Amino acid sequence: MTAKRKVKYEWDAERIKALRQYMGMTQQELSEELGTRQQTVSEWETGKYRPRGGMSRLLTLVAERAGFIYEAGQTESTTPEKSSSEQDANQDKDWAAWQR
């Protein structure tokens, strides 16, 4: 039995950029984590293309692991503010778990 996703993300340019910024990553860093080219991330963020299929699902998994919550018109997560050292520690833990 598989668990259903809590949030269904529609990955448009604004959401992809918001996720990347929330995670404190450059386009290059995000592209390396996703296994794609920096140019692809740039094209997503400018709205030239949208992620499809497996890449869309991968972005959703990354967003869920990072605790990213996004609503239209919002550029930051709705989670409570944390110090940058707390955010760094949490992101390190999230990415360590993600990479297993």
Domain of 80: which CATH number? 1.10.260.40
Answer yes or no: is 40 within a domain.
yes
Q: Which of 88, 92, 68, 63 is nearest to 78 (CA)?
A: 68
What is the CB neighbour count within 10 angstroms for residue 63? 22
> Quick one: tokens of 70?
């996004």
From first to last of the 100 residues of the chain, give the pLDDT tens digit.
555 545 567 899 999 999 999 999 999 999 999 999 999 999 999 999 999 999 999 999 999 999 998 765 544 434 334 444 554 555 555 555 555 5
Kindly state whether residue 86 falls inside one of the protein's structural domains.
yes
Angle among Cα 74, 32, 26 to the nearest 5 degrees reads 40
The reported pLDDT for the residue numbered 43 is 98
Containing structural domain, residue 45: 13-94
Instruction: Say if 42 falls within a structural domain.
Output: yes
- Cα distances (angstroms) measured from residue 54 to each of 60, 79, 90: 10, 27, 26
